[in-house]
Amino acid sequence: GVEALTGLGVLWRAMAALGAYRCIECNEEATELYRDYQRGVLRISICKSCQKPVDKYIEYDPVIILINAVLCKAQAYRHILFNTKINIHGKLCIFCLLCEAYLRWLQLQDSSQNTDPDDLIRYAKEWDFYRMFGIASLEQTSFFIGIFITLWWMSPEMLKRKSDFILLLKALLLSTYGKLLLIPAVIWEHDYTPLCLAFIKVFVLISNSQAIR
């Protein structure tokens, strides 16, 4: 835990200069995550509002943080969004869309009875995958736009600044990680696969709602 804190010290000080810290418990702003007393003595800062550690996850192993995020804990989401600088949102979104496109493409191939190995057929199947990716992308974009419009209509003060839109978009992109479970569900196909896919969709929606929260 001490080594992890020391390694991220420079990054956290830079974020502190921007006033980017938040308490993961009450979401209040914080000036620092920990205080360095030199000689390897570090003390996690206490939130002035709720009197709890500002961010207990700074000394946790990334695997533990990931498990807490999978469990849809708001504290884990706040740690990732406010107190770290992770730039995998775009890559994660594309990978999730590829997973969804692959699932749709596979279902499309299963419904097709044509087994001709002709090059033209293989070329058409490849373009079917690109088409499925385009459809999945359009649906994801429409879903996000719908969320933005709904939130802006219900609570205009929530999205006053450009940074608010960016932060919400990052939260939504990160919370789509549940779609990665589509691949194992397809690989280990069995009689309960449709039920698994339904549970995955519900899990993604729950993650999205927690990210918005």
Whether 115 and 49 map to the same domain: the answer is no
Residues 6+ apart with CB under 8 A from 86: 80, 174
What local confidence, expressed as pLDDT, does residue 112 receive?
57
Number of domains in the chain: 2
Whether 91 and 196 map to the same domain: the answer is yes
Whether 151 and 206 map to the same domain: the answer is yes
Express each pLDDT in 158-193 by its tens digit.
777 877 888 888 889 888 888 888 877 777 766 666
* Helix-helix angle 119-154:193-212, to 10 degrees: 40
Whether 48 and 151 map to the same domain: the answer is no
CA dist., res. 18 & res. 188, Å (int): 47
Contact indicator for 184, 196 with CB cutoff of 8 Å: no
Comparing 165 with 111, which gets the higher pLDDT? 165
Nearest to 6 by CA among 32, 57, 47, 41: 41
Query: H/E element holding 28?
Result: none
Q: Is residue 121 part of a domain?
A: yes
Q: Which domain holds residue 143?
A: 82-212
What local confidence, expressed as pLDDT, does residue 143 receive?
92
Whether 37 and 109 map to the same domain: the answer is no
Mean of the per-residue pLDDT values of the chain: 79
Whether 130 and 184 map to the same domain: the answer is yes
CA dist., res. 211 & res. 74, Å (int): 8
Contact indicator for 209, 151 with CB cutoff of 8 Å: no
What is the rounded end-to-end Cα distance, in angstroms, of the chain?
Answer: 29
Distance (Å) of CA 9 to CA 32, 34, 57, 164: 11, 9, 14, 26
Alpha-carbon torsion angle 22, 28, 31, 36, nearest 10:
-70
Q: Is residue 74 part of a domain?
A: no
Mean pLDDT of 20-39: 82
Q: What's this model's pTM, rounded to 2 decimal places?
A: 0.73
12, 41, 56 — which closes off a domain? Answer: 56
Q: How many residues does the chain have?
A: 213
Q: Is residue 198 part of a domain?
A: yes
Among 82-86, 136-140, 160-164, where is mean pLDDT lowest? 160-164
Distance (Å) of CA 190 to CA 50, 61, 85, 113, 197: 48, 34, 39, 21, 12
H runs (alpha helix) in the chain? 2-7, 9-17, 62-70, 74-82, 89-111, 119-154, 162-174, 182-187, 193-212
